[in-house]
Structure 1
Amino acid sequence: MTEKFNSKYPDIPYLRERAKKRIPKFAFEYLDGGCNSEINLHRNTKEIRDVQLKPYYLRDYKGASLETTLFDKTYSAPFGIAPIGLQGLMWPKASEILAKAAFEHNIPFILSTVGTASIETIADITEGNAWFQLYYPVEARLRNDIIQRAADANYPVLVLLSDTPTFGYRSKEIINGLSIPPKMTVQNMIQILSRPTWAFNTLMAGQPEFKTLKPYLPKGLSLKHLGLFMNKTFNGRLTPERIKPIRDKWKGKLVIKGITNDEDVEKAIALGLDGIIVSNHGGRQLDRGESTIKPLTHIAQKYKDKITVMMDSGIRTGPDIAATMASGADFTFLGRSFMYGVAALGKQGGDHTINILKRQLGQVMEQVSCEKIKNFPDYKL
């Protein structure tokens, strides 16, 4: 495939700035913000960047390979696209754009239960190579039906979301009316009119919807009652008793996302899960929690021979991926970086962001003389 790279925006911060100018303020703040005082949002990235690597310049170096094997599949790079809710709010058809880019670049895309594309649509785009993240339903019937749809669409990996037992307190979203249902205030309308490209594309694509959940919404449900339905239908708190029937039903790989301590890792192992994603929901849930890189380093060292250990939250760039892999991760996922790319560049944003990350990561490997991704821990100071 032709490499799509826009030299005007050679790094993620440039995409972020363009995205900020291109989409309404309420959409950008939903994407960019964290909970409470946003302490953990910033701590995540800062502490990843405290990791240092040591270069070797006099070795017989044969070149770098970004290929990474995960769950018996070889991907072209050690990173994928993390699940994000309401992607279509930030840029129309963002889920589809990113899924297509992920498929063409041979990296995993994770669809959220509250994403704006359906299980079936993303399966078609990725030819059954996407992952699905389950936001836990209260009713077993609904849980089983969603899981069966993912299985019928040949999703190889099911991801259980564990770090949202309650919604984070996000002041910017309260001010902007980004609740469920969203409130369209006069201020929001003014913001939309100031972003005509976003407004036109949204008009053409149609109002963002929770497409996976659409079959379960009562007919004629008004926006006023959508929030009540969502609160009644979903409960994000997982327990071993809730996970066991999912493990019995799901025949593919089963991963839990949001794990940050030994007790939860050991329960995941005992339940027969295949992997964990060390995550704090991008700093959007618990402002006084640890950064992700600290528990990742400990968990990888202690449990990597028993379960696959991955990480998201705070990773923005290729060097951040390198630092995370050097700290023991088997794989990484990024969310905001990809959404900045799509919000900035539309249909080209997914390809461009992937190419930035590949170039940056490859340069780090060349610089330190690391030939294979799995060897990164040997280069950590």
Structure 2
Amino acid sequence: MRANVFDYQLAAERFLPAFAYGYLEGGAEQSVTMRRNRRAFEETLFAPRVGVDVSVLDTTTRVADRPLAWPAIVGPTGLNGLFRHRAEESLARQAHAAGLPFALSTASTSLIESVREASNGDLWLQLYVQRDRRIAEDMMRRARACDFSTLLLTVDTAVSGQRDHYRRTGFTLPIRWTPRMIWDVASHPRWCGAVGLHGIPKLVNLARSAGLSGDLAEQAAAMSREMDMSLSWGDLAWVRRHWPGRIFVKGVQRVADAQLAVAHGADGIVLSNHGGRQLDGVPSPLEMLQETVAALPSHVDVIVDGGIRRGSDIVKAVALGARAVLLGRAPLYGLAAEGETGCADVLALLRQELHTCLRLLGCPRVAALDPTYLAAVPHLPTGVSGGIA
């Protein structure tokens, strides 16, 4: 048992070969955005109230008209099979055990159908749109057949960000077995036993919907070079024809774009810079949160991600108007360090920290959080967030 998410991060770094940890932890270019995501939470300060009865807490909320035990979703992350075998099944089971939804990535290493077999919880699908849209259509069809409730349409990945750490660690798909890579793997025997013996994980969801072979090079090419760069707001109507459930647009980074997403039929927004992995040098989602929420109708759910490592970070995001947060790297640290048990412990730690923070803040109900519980909030200079359309 470890004290916090940061301890699990260190344990994950020890367990994983450098190329796998670099994939998990690395940001784009100089990682300016990734550091800013974390700093925004650190610079947001509380204004606690005292003399409040906090003996009973209510952390429940609703997102996409679905109940959550506390305001978080285990978010979509790709290539999780690098960290543990059958990673997505573990994440889905533990999300459900914690009373949370689990969002499965298009770039998952487990099938939609396998994840549904592993969990009867609330499952969401994160969707990348390839140039051949029949792939996305088939993925939506398969997810509907497995009773996935909500779609996260990701719009910030027309191309992959410049990730310098790939060059430093030699990470490619498929992996090129250079002497450096062989030494990297051989020097992590625990990973070899738990993960490496099962073979390099493959993008099986993409392969099934695209009708691809089991060749990882072909799968990686489909993911990285065939994204639909023509995707635009009008295409939400096409998505709606294939997805009758709730649709969130993920990757919004301007207030005006949040309004356009809603105008074109989105049910909700995920303020996200892809964990700092795409365009370096953009604001943190937390900095944009208040202005975005104020610009949208009250029925529109706004979710935020990027840099959440503490239960108190969740409280800060909700106080600024988020309905919930997406947890990306944090559960993966636990998964890599200790398998499914580590994932469960990370979620338990975050929930306990959330409870402690609410009691010390003098706010027994998550639904009552608002900016009056904050003493200092990071703000962008006027106009940086794109203004209001």
Q: Residue in 2 aligned with 1:157? A: 150
The residue correspondences of 1:338-349 to structure 2 (distance < 5 A) are: 338-349=331-342
Aligned ranges 1:142-221 → 2 under 5 Å? 142-216=135-209
Q: Aligned in 2, Cα 1:231/1:207: closer, same or farther, shift over 3 Å?
A: closer
Instruction: Tell me the equivalent position of 1:234.
Output: 227
Structure 2 segments unaligned to the other structure (5+ residues) = 376-389
Which of these residues, 354, 362, 379, is aligned with residue 361 of structure 1? 354
Secondary structure of the residue aligned to 2:369 is: helix
Three-state SS of the structure 2 residue aligned to 1:164 is coil
Q: Which residue of 2 aligns with 1:3?
A: none
* 1:379–1:224 Cα change, 3 Å: closer
Paired position in structure 2 for 1:285: 278
- The residue correspondences of 1:19-58 to structure 2 (distance < 5 A) are 19-58=12-51
Q: What is the CA deviation profile of residues 195-217 of structure 1, one whole-angstrom value per residue up to 9, with x for unaligned ones?
A: 11110112443431112122246
Question: Partner of 2:385 in structure 1?
Answer: none
- Of 261, 267, 273, which aligns to 2:254? 261
Specify the alignment match of 1:275 in structure 2.
268
1:128–1:155 Cα contact (<8 Å) kept: no
Helix, strand or coil at the partner of 1:286: coil
Taking a change above 3 Å as real, the CA distance of residues 61 and 17 of structure 1, as seen in their structure-2 partners, is closer
Pair 1:243–1:102, CA change in 2 (3 A): same
Tell me the amino acid that sits aligned with residue 345 of structure 1.
E
Superposition deviation, residue 306 in structure 1: 4.4
- SS of residue matched to 1:272: coil
What is the aligned partner in structure 2 of residue 105 from structure 1? Answer: 98
What TM-score results when the alignment is normalised by the length of structure 2? 0.91
Q: State which of 361, 370, 379 in structure 1 corresponds to 2:373.
A: 379
Structure 1 residues 66-75 or 130-139, which shifts more? 66-75
CA distance in 2, matches of 1:158, 1:345: 30
Output the CA distance in 2 between the equivalents of 1:336 and 1:170: 17
Is the deviation greater in 237-246 or in 48-57?
237-246
Instruction: Indicate if the aligned counterparts of 2:92 and 2:121 stay in contact, CA closer than 8 A.
Output: no
CA distance 1:317–1:238, shift in 2 (3 Å): farther
Instruction: Give 5+ residue unaligned stretches, structure 1.
Output: 1-5
Give secondary structure in 2 for the equivalent of 1:234. coil
Q: For the residues of structure 1 that align with 2:66 and 2:209, how far apart are their CA atoms?
A: 33
Tell me how far apart the structure 2 counterparts of residues 223 and 46 of structure 1 sit (CA, whole Å).
37
- For residues 166 and 34 of structure 2, the distance between their equivalents in structure 1, rounded to whole angstroms, comes to 15
The code of the aligned residue for 2:301 comes to T
| Counterpart contact for 1:269–1:306, Cα < 8 Å | no
Q: Distance in 1 between matches of 2:359 and 2:188?
A: 41
Contact 1:111–1:131 under 8 Å retained in 2: yes
Q: Percent identity?
A: 29
Do the aligned partners of residues 171 and 58 (structure 1) sit closer, same or farther apart at CA in structure 2, a change above 3 Å counting?
A: same
Instruction: Report the equivalent of 1:133.
Output: 126
Following TM superposition, by how much is the alpha carbon of 1:371 offset from its aligned partner in structure 2, in angstroms? 1.4
Asked if 1:319 is matched to 2:312, the reply is yes
Asked whether the 8 Å contact 1:81–1:335 carries over to 2, the reply is yes
Please tell me whether residue 298 in structure 1 is matched to residue 302 in structure 2.
no
Seen in structure 2, the aligned counterparts of structure 1 residues 176 and 65 have a Cα distance that, compared at 3 Å, is same
Q: Which moved more, 1:251-260 or 1:232-241?
A: 232-241
Partners of 1:349 and 1:208 in 2: CA distance: 20
| Structure 1 vs Structure 2 CA RMSD | 1.8
Given that residues 128 and 156 in structure 1 are in contact (C-alpha distance below 8 angstroms), is that contact kept between their aligned partners in structure 2? Answer: no
Q: Which moved more, 1:141-150 or 1:52-61?
A: 52-61
Q: How far apart, in 2, do the equivalents of 1:184 and 1:213 lie? A: 24
Partner SS for 2:45 = coil
What is the aligned residue count?
A: 374
Q: How far does the alpha carbon of each residue in 1:210-244 deviate from its partner, in whole angstroms, 9 at most, with x for none?
A: 12122246665644544444345433663123221
- 1:360 is displaced (CA, Å) by 0.4
Q: Is the 8 A contact 2:131 2:228 kept in 1?
A: yes
Task: Report the 3-state secondary structure (helix = DSSP H, G, I; strand = E; otherwise coil) of the residue aligned with 1:127.
Answer: coil
From the superposition, tell whether residues 46 and 21 of structure 1 become closer, same or farther in structure 2 (CA, over 3 Å): same
**Cα distance in 2 for residues equivalent to 1:154 and 1:40:** 35
The CA distance in 2 between the partners of 1:236 and 1:108, in whole Å, is 29
Alpha-carbon spacing, 1:140–1:21, altered in 2? closer, same or farther (3 Å) = closer
- Distance, in Å, in 2 between the alignment partners of 1:101 and 1:53 is 30
| Paired amino acid for 2:280 | D
Structure 1 residue 275: Cα displacement = 0.6
Change (3 A) 1:219 1:34: closer
Instruction: Give the Cα–Cα distance (whole angstroms) in 1 for the partners of residues 230 and 7 of structure 2.
Output: 37
Structure 1 residue 60, shift from structure 2 partner: 3.7
Deviation at 1:349, TM superposition (A): 1.3
Cα distance in 2, alignment partners of residues 221 and 105 from structure 1: 34
Offset, 1:248: 2.4
| Partner SS for 1:167 | coil
Q: CA deviation at 1:184?
A: 2.6
Superposition TM-score, scaled by structure 1 size:
0.93
Seen in structure 2, the aligned counterparts of structure 1 residues 197 and 162 have a Cα distance that, compared at 3 Å, is: same
